[in-house]
A = this chain, B = another copy of it.
Amino acid sequence: MARPLSEDKQFALLAAAAELVALQGVGAPTSQIARQAGVAEGTLFRYFATKDDLLNQLYLHLKSELCTALTAENLAAYSLKERAHAVWNLYIDWGLAHPLAAKALSQLHVSDKVLPETRAKAHAMFPDVSEIVGNVFAGLSQQQSTAFSEMLLGTLAETTLSFAASNPAQSQSYKAAGFAFLWRGLAHD
């Protein structure tokens, strides 16, 4: 076999895509992504069949990195609220540590280039949070309530993150405020 497809290059392309998507949105040109990754434009298309494919894989890649960050600690010994709070903090901290990744993710979140299948795959990566989100809203099925709560959790975290990232001096306060809001909203205790 000749040279194998380099994981380094694939990673470099994803990293370059994350950065440029964060800064320019999903309209970032493939030519710039390739240049930023240090490869020829044609090379990008050996790793990703189309630009849309790249965007979908980037979404999975970033979600998977986020997922890894969230499951870093073993929280089994803690109370529900403590676990929830720990995961919330891990999320915000991940976003603060990787602002471009977080920004790229929020761009992809609202892009119709990311297919429903991809979103489903990404969703499946995350551990079950139905315990955390808890209550069933009146008039909604268990499933509908959970999906709705999960989405609220996600958008709350994204908003909190953007405030925390914009005001580094207050980031810890926004982080705490966001969790307080969430936890009350979910009507625990």
Binding site for B on A (CB under 8 A): 2, 24-25, 27, 40, 42, 106-107, 110-112, 137-140, 144-145, 147-148, 151-152, 155-156, 158-159, 163, 167, 170, 172-174, 176-178, 180-182, 184-187
Partner of A156, one of B25, B155, B180: B155
Interface of A is mostly: helix
Whole-angstrom CA separation of A167 from B181 in the bound complex: 26
Interface centre among A139, A172, A186 (most CB of B within 10 A): A139
Interface contact A172-B139, CB-CB below 8 Å: yes
Interface contact A159-B151, CB-CB below 8 Å: yes
State the oligomeric state as a number of copies.
Answer: 4
18 A-B pairs within 8 Å (CB atoms) are namely A2-B42, A25-B112, A27-B27, A137-B174, A138-B176, A140-B173, A140-B174, A148-B163, A148-B177, A152-B156, A152-B159, A152-B181, A155-B155, A155-B159, A156-B156, A180-B187, A181-B185, A181-B186
